[in-house]
Amino acid sequence: MWWALLFILACVVPTEYHYGYSISYPEHVFVIGKPFKSADWETMPSIRVCKDTGISVRRINHATSFWRKLGYKFDHVSYDTSNMCAPARYGEIVISLPDGSFDNTKIASTRTYTRTSTGKIVKAIIFIMPKDARRLRVIEHEMGHAIGWKHYNKKFHIMHSNWIMGGYDDFGLENGD
Ligand SMILES: [Zn+2]
């Protein structure tokens, strides 16, 4: 059936990660062994920051250099100053204010879109409020999800699911590790 093939080729599924103050043990959390990446990107992602998130250039540079040091590459970083920040397009990581589905007890969440036919990430959205965007490590952590990393509950690790117990430990996150 040609239409079924078209559907499969076009099919992109979302995965969502939430960041909060309590330890969560959903299927996305790894505690032992090495951190686990659910998918790689189809392209080199560009980053678009919606201005109304209040994220400074310095903040975003800090977050991108954290991941660049680990061997990840990003295309250009841009600021979207429009009132209605456009949804993520193909090849983009967008950092935006939360949409209607956001859980207010959380600090931030990231949604990655994976193409089912290739298993590769094609776009990602990080949802965050300005008050939480100022917190240490949050953008770095969410960018980790946008890259494809799942939670990893080693104390002081950047991908720890509980913000309070996290840190800048980057064990196991090197590109191609
Ligand atoms: Zn998280």
**How do residues 15-34 score in pLDDT, each as one tens digit?**
888 888 766 555 556 667 89
Instruction: Please give the residue that has the higher pLDDT: either 165 or 8.
Output: 165
- What pLDDT was estimated at residue 26? 57
d(CA 122, ligand 1 centre) in Å: 19
pTM: 0.89
d(CA 78, ligand 1 centre) in Å: 23
How far CA 76 is from CA of 59, 79, 156, 166, 172, in Å, comes to 15, 10, 30, 28, 26
d(CA 6, ligand 1 centre) in Å: 33
- The pLDDT of residue 168 is above 80: yes
- The pLDDT of residue 3 is above 70: no
d(CA 146, ligand 1 centre) in Å: 10
Report the alpha-carbon distance of residue 40 to residue 155 in Å, rounded: 25
User: Sheet holding 120-128: strands in order across?
Assistant: 12-19, 108-115, 120-128, 92-96, 46-50, 77-80
**How do residues 119-132 score in pLDDT, each as one tens digit?**
999 999 999 999 99
Q: Where residue 169 falls among pLDDT bands split at 50, 70, 90?
A: very high
At position 126, the amino acid (one-letter code) is I
d(CA 16, ligand 1 centre) in Å: 9
Map out the domains of the chain with their CATH numbers.
39-150 (3.40.390)
- What pLDDT was estimated at residue 25? 55
**How do residues 82-108 score in pLDDT, each as one tens digit?**
988 999 999 999 999 998 777 778 899
- What pLDDT was estimated at residue 176? 84
d(CA 160, ligand 1 centre) in Å: 7
